[in-house]
Amino acid sequence: MSDRLDLLLVYPPWPAAKGRARLISTLPPLGVLSIAASVEAQGHSVVVCDAHAEQLDDHEIRALLRTHQPRVVGLSVLTSQVLAAHLIARIAKEEVPDCIVVAGGVHAEAMPERMLQNSAIDLVIRGDGEEATVEVVQGRSFKTIAGGSYRKGGRVQHNDAREVQMDLDAYPMPAYHMVDFDKYYPGATTYRQLPAINLLMTRGCPGKCTFCNSAKTTLRSRSPASMVAQIKHLYDHYGIRQFQFYDDTFTVMKKTVLEFCALLEAEQLDVSWIGFIRGDCFSDKIAAAMKAAGCHQVLVGVETGSDLIAQRIGKPIDSAKYRRAVDIAHRHGLEVRASFIIGSLDETWETMEDSLKMALELDFDFVQLFISTPYPGTAMYKEAAERGWLTAASWDDYGQARVLVNQPQISASDIYRFEKYFNRRFYMRRRFAKRMLKRSLNPRHLRDYALAVPYLLLGVRSDPLAGKWDCWEGLNENDFLDVPLEGADTLHLSHTVRTKGVIAS
């Protein structure tokens, strides 16, 4: 059939976001759009299906497959999307039996043997997916695809890792024309203007955080000029006015960020934006440049107020540096949003109290609190698994809101109890209420706060998808794993499979 689609890229639903999406945002899947752009640039036909943003059920995805009859189906797999991805792979093979199903993303690369136990998944791509996906669509043999993992003779064959692409300008601009921007929205406390979307200037992170898949991965960047060109394109063609930089650490490459800010300021665009910073990679010079270029908020990943836990999670930044970063940001008129994690390995009620004390003392404008989650591919997951501390929870629970590690020194109930205590102490302050009223620039802000506050203080979730997404919930991974393979329980670290390949255990 000459009219068959070459590639259908599917971003699966994220059931863990139900009821709190307004708090955590729904934004374009940039990795998928980058792959789509690379494949399209080679002359192939591509369709992107963001099943999460479009709130599609299994029947709608089945109809899409039936219509397009794709030769290749690509699935982007975060841990919380695994079960939905398994089901979509099965549906793809039922509707288009001769299609090739490829899985990529942080979960697939961390657990390739387990993913490939599903007979509907033919290939796992580890690391950057742009060049590898082009090669799959071109019909290359799996054995020639660097970074590929596939079944061979009852076991998984892991090809050598692909050489890391240091020049991100080698990849085309993400294929923004393949998604509907009306389906996306930012988190409740992150934006000044609308419409808003996310951006990435860098990939990788030199940090050593034990809870993060980006730890110890190669840091590289787009050029500042190409990033500003991308912003101008989104500004002119789609009317985007707010940008959320989701780089793991936006300010690590100081020369790059200063050049970017100077170029963006020179364009005199009516935009606002946010960026992530590290407490030890921020200065008056950088803050002034960011503010002049339209930045209104920085997010700093504090994670903990305890020196003990900071060492334990691989992020031993002195609290004085965080205090200095907050002072610098406020001096330049930048809001500061801080993230904290509770329930880390070795956490106690007292170390969590240290975090609350720090959140109150450092005068953060906003705080986002997460429960420590042992994602596959991280050092935390490996240690918790080897100690036998992992709970038997579903992958659907991997949304940073559930306690998934049974530790002897602290109970899950205590962590949940502290979460409510923390949120009430921080958000039920007169100072915070005044700050919120002052920054509520339009009715949309007030609506988002109305949805966020019941969740933060009472754990009550708004659930506009009640009933519609039942098809993605209650799935059992074992129902999809129909191919016994050697080494299916092997633990891999993300930074090794991306740069050194899969090392035999």
Please compute the mean of the pLDDT values over residues 108-116 and round it to a whole number. Answer: 96
Q: Which pTM was predicted? A: 0.92
More confident residue, 365 or 1: 365
User: 419-458 pLDDT, tens per residue?
Assistant: 999 999 998 888 777 766 666 566 665 566 556 666 555 5
Whether residue 1 has pLDDT greater than 50: no
C-alpha 73/C-alpha 136 separation (Å) is 10
Q: Helix, strand or coil for residue 156?
A: strand
Residue 442 has a pLDDT of: 61
Distances in whole angstroms, Cα of residue 329 to Cα of each of 171, 290, 299, 300: 33, 10, 10, 11
Residue appearing with tokens 């590898």: 132
Percent of the chain whose pLDDT exceeds 70: 90
Beta carbons of 179 and 33 less than 8 angstroms apart? yes
Residue appearing with tokens 């404008």: 365
Beta carbons of 250 and 286 less than 8 angstroms apart? no
User: 179-206 pLDDT, tens per residue?
Assistant: 999 999 887 778 888 899 999 999 999 8
C-alpha 380/C-alpha 493 separation (Å) is 10
Distance from chain centroid for Cα 283: 27
User: What token pair was written down for 420?
Assistant: 């409510």
pLDDT bracket for residue 248 (50, 70, 90): confident
Distances in whole angstroms, Cα of residue 190 to Cα of each of 157, 276, 298, 318, 324: 43, 12, 9, 26, 22
pLDDT bracket for residue 115 (50, 70, 90): very high
Residue appearing with tokens 């695809």: 145
User: 24-71 pLDDT, tens per residue?
Assistant: 678 999 999 999 999 999 999 999 999 999 999 999 999 999 999 999
Whether residue 461 has pLDDT greater than 60: no
User: How many residues can be counted in the chain?
Assistant: 505
C-alpha 377/C-alpha 395 separation (Å) is 14
Beta carbons of 182 and 23 less than 8 angstroms apart? no
Q: Please spell the DSSP secondary structure of 438-497, one letter per residue.
A: HH--SHHHHHHHHHHHHHHHH-----TTTTTTGGGSS--GGGT--S--TTTT----HHHH
Q: Please spell the DSSP secondary structure of 92-149, one letter per residue.
A: HHHH-TT-EEEEESHHHHHSHHHHTTSTT--EEE-S--HHHHHHHHTT--GGGSTTEE
Q: Spell out the domains of the chain, with CATH numbers in brackets.
A: 7-157 (3.40.50.280), 193-440 (3.20.20.70)
User: 310-353 pLDDT, tens per residue?
Assistant: 999 999 988 899 999 999 999 999 999 999 999 999 999 999 99
User: What token pair was written down for 405?
Assistant: 């590690």
